Amino acid sequence: MNTSSDKLATLDIVLNGLMRRYKQRVPDVSIILDSMVREGIVANADHIENDHIAFRTMGVPQLGVQSFEKIFQYYGYEKRDHYFFEGKKLDAWWYSPPRETDPRIFVSELRVGDLSGESQQIIRSYTDEVATDPVDSLDLDNGLEVDAFLHRPLWRTPSVSDYQTLLKESEYAAWVIYNRYYLNHFTISVHNLPEGYNTVAQFNDFLEKNGIKLNTSGGKIKISPDGGLLQSATVAEMINAEFANGEHLKISGSYVEFAERKVLPEFKDLSVEEIKRKHRRDGFEAANADKIFESTYTTQTSR
Ligand code: OOG
Ligand code: NI
């Protein structure tokens, strides 16, 4: 019981559950994966490396990152750097995985206390329904229970008017009040793809040829100051969401991201076959992330 191999098997169940539902919610995922197979970029979609996955949370005491992270730390993820987004009122951390083949995890949290009194009151009217940290009562050895938890409502279905009030002050707040712990995105690693597709610039061309709409905030390619991490993202898919009292509204769902991690200067002489994940630029970049968050913002989705 609870050996590390049991935990990894449970982690697989949780990750597979996340990807399954995410594919159902985000039609761009299948469009992209099918196009990659059709064009011969990969023999089959299982060969695609998932660079990282991302979640969003509400920063209130019984929820937020301190609650959410316990799930993945239990399976062997380790907390790494912190990022702060002043304008968007967010904090975020990334977590390195137990196996090289697992995705990194990026978890952000809304600094609820930094919002206006009205928005705080709306958010707390929902989050107060969760009396105690729900992760503490989860059986983390039960992958199906954790999978169910990640996809079950934490609070009542929001009203359209609360959603719209939040949207005006914080698009992130509105996203979380409706979408909760649904996977926000998964990320295709492009650097191990065949020549012609193994840079974000080339992969963006391939995506646009296949009708995929990219996030343009700060330019289509977000580049870290050290030049080692290049990212792009699709614009979130709109979902016809059902709100309280049977009202419907088209809102942002999830999106797909693409990452190119360059080999670090100290490993530049390794042959292609020798290059592993540890030889490439790791972690994230606040300035890139700041623009990627906007994949679900109306400034991008209404373009
Ligand atoms: C996360 C945005 C940041 C990255 O890779 O830097 C990000 C989000 O939209 O929740 O994904
Ligand atoms: Ni990301």
Question: Is the separation of the CB atoms in 109 and 64 below 8 Å?
Answer: yes
Closest residue by Cα to atom 1, ligand 1, is: 293
Closest residue by Cα to atom 5, ligand 1, is: 289
Closest residue by Cα to atom 2, ligand 1, is: 293
Q: Residues enclosing ligand 1, CB less than 6 A?
A: 54, 56, 106, 108, 184, 231, 257, 284, 288-289, 292-293
In terms of Cβ atoms closer than 10 Å to its own Cβ (0-12, 13-18, 19+), residue 130 is middle
Alpha-carbon span 179 to 261, nearest angstrom: 29
Spell out, as residue ranges, where the chain has pLDDT lower than 70. Answer: 1
Q: Considering every ligand atom shown, identify the ligand nearest to the alpha carbon of residue 188 and give its number.
A: 2
Tokens of residue 239, six digits: 């979902």
Alpha-carbon span 252 to 19, nearest angstrom: 18
Query: ipTM score here?
Result: 0.99
Give the predicted TM-score (pTM) of the model. Answer: 0.98
Closest residue by Cα to atom 3, ligand 1, is: 289
Closest alpha carbon to 28 in 224, 232, 177:
232
The answer for residues whose C-beta is within 8 angstroms of residue 2's C-beta and 6 or more apart is: 141
The pLDDT score that the predictor gives to residue 271 is: 95
Closest residue by Cα to atom 8, ligand 1, is: 293
Architecture per CATH, 4-301: Roll (3.10)
Centre of ligand 1 to C-alpha 293, Å, is 5
Question: Which residues are placed with Cβ below 5 angstroms of ligand 2, an ion?
Answer: 54, 257
Q: Considering every ligand atom shown, identify the ligand nearest to the alpha carbon of residue 285 and give its number.
A: 1
Strand segments, DSSP code E, in the chain are 50-58, 78-85, 90-96, 104-110, 185-189, 222-223, 229-233, 238-242, 248-252, 255-261
Q: Considering every ligand atom shown, identify the ligand nearest to the alpha carbon of residue 291 and give its number.
A: 1
Centre of ligand 1 to C-alpha 4, Å, is 29
Tokens of residue 191, six digits: 């650097």
The pLDDT score that the predictor gives to residue 1 is: 55
Centre of ligand 1 to C-alpha 254, Å, is 11
Centre of ligand 1 to C-alpha 171, Å, is 14
Q: Which atom of ligand 1 is nearest to the CA of 255?
A: 9
The pLDDT score that the predictor gives to residue 3 is: 81
Alpha-carbon span 161 to 37, nearest angstrom: 43
Q: Considering every ligand atom shown, identify the ligand nearest to the alpha carbon of residue 229 and give its number.
A: 1
